[in-house]
Amino acid sequence: MAPPATTETDSSHGKGDDREWEPAGSSSAHYTARHGGLDLFPEVPMWDSDPIRLSPQEAVGVLEDALHVLGDLIAELAAASEEETVFLASAKEARSITPRMIRQIQENPQASRDQALVLLVPARAAGMLLRHADQLLAAAPDHDQLQALRAKTEAVLIAWCHRAEKAIRPRPMPLSRTAGYQAEMVLSLAGLLSAAPSGASGPAVRDDH
């Protein structure tokens, strides 16, 4: 069975000039909706993995530790440079959802078991902080404090990636299988659209992957 796909359509923006869709970088769903179409995003998995084996208490511990470590890194990087980057903003956002993840585990321990995001969200945030440090250093390569903070951030990221890899044990999926997921999604959606009531204007289908 194929994993769920995300579809987006926005008929309210089907007309109008291109300035509505600026700045560059808007979703391709915007481009498709501009022409009265529908955009299909098949979120196909590239890796197979094992469920993690953390108790609810262990999962909470991982997230609480990440909350403090990320907070310290963000504060130290902000003290070293006032420059904001998209990577820093992304790291802050990832950290901001950590307390909510902790509450969900505490409120419903059984439903939260085997959640790989417990390990992946902290690693992603650390990766964003490393990219933030790299961007700062590109403009100030001789900044000793930033160099030290980059090394510290990289050590955290490596440790968290190793922990996640050991727990999840990812295995690449065959290309034929992932391509099969995509084809099944496109054909399924096409079948749904063709079954629409007569006279209904069905949107065009576009596979962005």
Residues 131, 154: Cα–Cα separation, whole Å: 10
Q: What average pLDDT is seen over the chain?
A: 81
207 dihedral zone (left: phi>0; alpha: psi -120 to 50; beta):
beta
Q: What is the mean pLDDT of residues 75-92?
A: 94
Three-class secondary structure of residue 105 per DSSP = helix
pLDDT over 80 at 197, yes or no:
no
pLDDT of residue 6: 40
Residue 119 tokens read as 């390990």
Other beta carbons within 10 angstroms of residue 41's beta carbon come to: 17
Residues 172, 48: Cα–Cα separation, whole Å: 6
Residues 153, 130: Cα–Cα separation, whole Å: 6
pLDDT over 70 at 13, yes or no:
no
pLDDT over 80 at 22, yes or no:
no
pLDDT of residue 33: 75
Q: What is the mean pLDDT of residues 194-199?
A: 68
Pick the closest to residue 35 from 207, 205, 209 (CA basis). Answer: 205
Whether 5 contacts 189, CB under 8 Å = yes
pTM for the model: 0.67
pLDDT of residue 28: 73
